A and B are shown apart, each in its own frame.
Chain A
């Protein structure tokens, strides 16, 4: 999911200092609408339905931020950005933030002058093969033809992986996921490789899903998360802590359904601070004290968002895995809210 960084670099180098006069938070409040850079359509993560309502895992984070900042989860405008335009769109101020399954990497964080404020999904690159190929590990793929999306770093990861394991492969480059799925189904390649979440979604929609397996190896780290412009730290804090509020809510068992009940009965000081019943956490970052409560009430906690869009039971059927809370063996960990 990493396309050329050229346009981003171009944007970063031509960025005029002091471009945004006011802070992003003030702009959003004045506008009364959050402009969220999103995907042009990725199953489960962000896409409009037939009547134009956006849904998805990334989309819900945008809605949570809108609920926190503006008090209304509906006040979001989703701007579809492609792999080429996403970072420049953020730099040029077309969008307030980017929640678009973008991988956090060194060069994007530094050279492109972006800030990745959190990781809302830990992904990694995997392989899907036909069962009758009789392969149980990616290391057995010596000499295989592999369908790979061109121009992404999955291509580089693939080259690294095969080189390290001293085996060879033949790439069949495809332009996008639909073409990859098509080529793989038509037998043009033995294995299809892309991010594991994408593989799961692809496998779920194959006509004979039971004849295909996703191999256990994950060959790269793809931490995906919301991105903001470098230098507007307050806005970064707003996005980061809205996300952490959703995590803390899951940790404390607060859901969109029971939030009022919890607020009335809780004795937990952190929960009180989270929901704005004590302290002034919201006010400290320029929001309302009920900001986090609004966010949780609007979209639910992190676990609810995951379960609704991509979790087990949906057609995509992803296990929590690395994205479970730290208390359940995952990596999702929010700093203390105090």
Chain B
């Protein structure tokens, strides 16, 4: 009678009780775990409900086709009854050109578009140095973007062909020698300047040649008179080149090969074109200046240190608005009468200084966070000052500072809207005010802000995501 019962097949597992699985479990754990949480949840839901109830009809009643605000209102009332309100996006339809390009002539819009596409292509080698896969992705995206937008903007065939050639050439180079792409980044500033402002093709080329002069003089002189004096001589030669030879040479070359784009005045720049020109130039120049200032502040040399500290503290102690007013009004007093120093250039210079001062402090924080041993290790290896900084100190310090650096960049980009106070057409206030001065759209309030805010958000969010990617990529610790 020795009977055994042995289960030969397993029962299927029971599903957990309803309160312990799926959405219900998540809700219980996250939203309704304690009486206090329940109260908070209900309060939150009520707030969201009220917000949606107040604004949803406005969004749903959006009007896309109308020629004036009053026509918008009529359409909304006809569709949703009297007293109903609705968004009037028709304004964007009519004015989007001004929001994006300011008053840049529409038949020349392909130039800022091309400059923007090339900007992405020029940034890629810096952001993803040497990674063929990422570079290829970026360049393909750029190619598609350019093909589409340039076609829409009615680009002249020859410009389209040249642009295609450049992008295809870069794609090919990315496959074989991705490191070499950095050369495109180096010539990009001159290319961008020429595309945006136009004029003779020779002025950016001759101006860039000044850097060549600097380099050649430096190389030739350094074996005889030492590094620092050679650098000084190089700078002097380049300045002489820019001051005295530049203009004459441009005239001569332009006489021989008259290649030129239509000149565009700075007062035709506006909207996001202006914001991006100021923002990107400020960002790219403030980082190197900021690094130098941070190093200068830590230096043992009295004059360098004093100058750096003085510059940083002065610029940080003064509101950006003050600097902008200085750029727009006071500089004119100090320059000789009749000098026409471009207002956008003046604003860019002071915005760059402003960002550089903040970056210097951010980077100094990174430098201070490095253990003293790193500096001593660099010295022990027998590296000189610049090599130690370049190979050991800065890579670590900059990595630590990435989140703050990107924060500063985002702040700088958003601060470009402040140029409205010196009469430039920034997208948020400048263009919006012009739209509102149009009797057809006077009284429009939220729509331009929402439109401009959305674009700003997309750009800043992109920067923020990139910084997170970079942090993850460069993470070497084991925390």
Q: Give A contacts to B, CB under 8 Å.
A: 7, 11, 14-16, 19-21, 27, 39-44, 46-52, 77-82, 84-85, 88-89, 92-94, 176-178, 181-182, 201-202, 204-207, 314-316
Docked-complex contact A15 and B333, CB < 8 angstroms: yes
Among A50, A78, A85, A182, point to the contact of B98 (Cβ < 8 A): A50
Task: Give, as a whole number of angstroms, the nearest-CB distance from A95 to chain B.
Answer: 10
CB of B106 closer than 8 Å to a CB of A: yes
In the complex with contacts A43-B439, A50-B97, A92-B434 CB distance below 8 A: no
Question: Given A49, A89, A176, A206, which contacts B443 in the complex, CB threshold below 8 Å?
Answer: A206
Closest Cβ of chain A: how far from B256's Cβ, in Å? Answer: 28
Partner of B442, one of A14, A89, A93, A205: A205
A21, B328: Cα distance in complex, Å? 21
A11–B330 Cα distance when bound, in Å, is: 8
- Contacts A15-B333, A79-B423 given: A201-B439 contact, CB under 8 Å? yes
- Name the distance in Å between A160's Cβ and chain B's nearest Cβ: 29
B434: nearest chain-A partner, CB-CB? A41
Choose one: B95, B329, B425, B445; the contact of A7 (CB below 8 Å). Answer: B329
A47 touches B267 (CB 8 A): no
Contact B329 A47 (CB under 8 A): no
Please indicate the chain B residues that have their CB under 8 angstroms from the CB of A206 in the complex: 443
- Tell me if B151 is interfacial: C-beta within 8 Å of chain A: no
Contact A182 B325 (CB under 8 A): no
* Complex Cα–Cα for A315 and B442 (A): 11
Complexed CA–CA distance, A39 and B420 (Å): 12
14 A-B residue pairs with Cβ-Cβ distance under 8 Å, sorted by A, are A7-B329, A20-B337, A43-B439, A47-B437, A52-B98, A80-B430, A82-B423, A84-B421, A92-B333, A201-B439, A202-B443, A205-B442, A207-B70, A316-B439
Residue B69 at the A interface, CB < 8 A?
yes
Chain B contacts for A43, CB-based, 8 A: 436-439, 442
Q: Which residue of A lies closest to B446 (CB)?
A: A182
Residues 442-459 of chain B, each 1 if its beta carbon lies under 8 Å from chain A, else 0: 110100000000000000
Asked if A85 and B333 sit within 8 Å, CB to CB, the answer is no
Q: Is the CB of A82 within 8 A of B439?
A: no
A80, B437: Cβ atoms closer than 8 Å: no
B:101-121 near A, CB below 8 Å? 102-103, 106
What total of A-B pairs shows CB separation below 8 Å?
A: 112
Most buried by A among B69, B98, B423: B423
Nearest neighbor of B448 in chain A, beta-carbon distance:
A178
- Cβ of B161 under 8 Å from chain A: no
Q: Which residues of A contact B435 (CB under 8 A)?
A: 41
> CA of A27 to CA of B73 in the docked complex: distance in angstroms?
49
Nearest chain B CB to A24 CB, angstrom units:
11
Asked if A94 contacts B329 (CB within 8 A), the reply is yes
Find chain B residues with CB under 8 A from A81 CB: 423
Q: Render B396-427 as a binary contact track against A, CB cut-off 8 A, 1 for contact.
A: 00000000000000000000000011111100
Chain A residue numbers with a CB within 8 Å of B439 are 43-44, 201, 204-205, 314-316
> CB within 8 A of B94: which of A39, A50, A93, A207?
A50
For the complex of A and B, list the 3 residue pairs with the smallest distance between their C-beta atoms, beginning with the closest: A52-B103, A47-B437, A41-B437
Chain B, interface residues (CB within 8 Å), range = 35 or more
On chain A, the residues within 8 Å of B134 by CB distance are none
* Minimal beta-carbon separation of A239 from chain B (angstroms): 20
Closest to A78 in B: B267
A85-B422 contact given A202-B442, A206-B443, CB 8 Å threshold = yes
Q: For B433, what are the chain A residues with a Cβ–Cβ distance below 8 Å?
A: 40-41, 176, 178
Question: In the assembled complex, which residues on chain A have CB atoms less than 8 Å from the CB atom of B434?
Answer: 40-41, 47-48
Q: Are B436 and A201 in contact (CB under 8 A)?
A: no
Min CB–CB distance B120 → chain A (angstroms): 27
C-alpha gap A204/B430 in the complex (Å)? 23
Given A21-B337, A48-B103, A205-B443, is A94 in contact with B438 using a C-beta cutoff of 8 Å?
no
Q: Are A49 and B325 in contact (CB under 8 A)?
A: no
Contact of B325 among A14, A85, A202 (CB under 8 A): A85
Least distance between B416 CB and chain A CB atoms (Å): 16
> Are B329 and A11 within 8 A (Cβ)?
yes
In the assembled complex, the Cα of A19 lies from the Cα of B330 at a distance in Å of 13
Do the beta carbons of A52 and B437 come within 8 Å of each other?
A: no
Query: Which of chain B's residues have a CB closer than 8 A to the CB of A78?
Result: 267
Return the contact of A77 from the options B267, B422, B425, B430 (Cβ within 8 A): B267
Contacts of B98 in A (CB 8 A): 50, 52
- Distance in angstroms between the alpha carbons of A323 and B316 in the assembled complex: 50
Bound Cα distance from A40 to B424, whole angstroms? 9
- Contact call B438/A49, Cβ cutoff below 8 A: yes
Query: Does any Cβ of A come within 8 Å of B373's Cβ?
Result: no
Closest Cβ–Cβ distance, residue A312 to chain B (whole Å) = 14
Inter-chain contacts of B103 with A (CB < 8 A): 48, 51-52
The answer on a CB contact under 8 Å between B73 and A201 is no
- Known contacts A20-B337, A50-B94, A205-B70, A94 near B443 by CB under 8 Å: no
Shortest Cβ distance from residue A313 to the other chain B in the assembled complex, whole angstroms: 13
Question: Are A80 and B333 in contact, CB atoms less than 8 angstroms apart?
Answer: no
Give residues of chain B (310-332) contacting chain A, Cβ–Cβ below 8 Å: 325, 328-330, 332
B464: interface (CB < 8 Å)? no
Q: Look across to chain A and name the residue whose beta carbon is closest to the beta carbon of B76.
A: A207
The answer to whether A85 and B328 touch across the interface, beta carbons within 8 angstroms, is yes
Instruction: Identify B445's interface contact among A11, A47, A178, CB under 8 A.
Output: A178
Q: How far is the CA of A88 from the CA of B330 in the complex (A)?
A: 8
Expressed in whole angstroms, the Cα–Cα distance for A262 and B438 within the complex equals 35
In the docked arrangement, what's the CA distance between A20 and B338, Å? 8
